[in-house]
């Protein structure tokens, strides 16, 4: 078993379930959606639908406690 791990934590549920503790916060992270100009213009309806789904999850994901 490892002495320590570096992980991206969203809710902390997995940490708690495995009896792990945060020793130090290293960095805040954020989500980025990246597309080429060509894909963005050709597939905008699909991209817009995905963005809407993501926007609808705000406040839901990460708050499932």
Going by C-beta distance under 8 Å and a sequence separation of 6 or more, which residues neighbour residue 13? 64, 65
Provide the residue ranges of all domains of the chain, joining segments of one domain with +: 33-65
Q: How far is the C-alpha of 31 from the C-alpha of 57, rounded, in Å? A: 13
Question: Chain-centre distance of CA 26, in angstroms?
Answer: 16
State the pLDDT at residue 62. Answer: 55
Mean pLDDT of 34-59: 91
pLDDT in tens, 21-43: 889 888 888 878 899 999 999 99
């Amino acid at each position: 078993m490892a002495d320590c791990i570096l992980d991206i934590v969203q809710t902390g549920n997995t940490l708690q379930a495995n009896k792990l503790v945060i020793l130090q916060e290293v960095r805040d992270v954020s989500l980025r959606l990246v597309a080429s100009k060509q894909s963005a213009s050709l597939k905008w309806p699909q991209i817009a639908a995905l963005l809407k789904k993501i926007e609808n999850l705000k406040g839901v994901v990460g708050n499932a406690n």
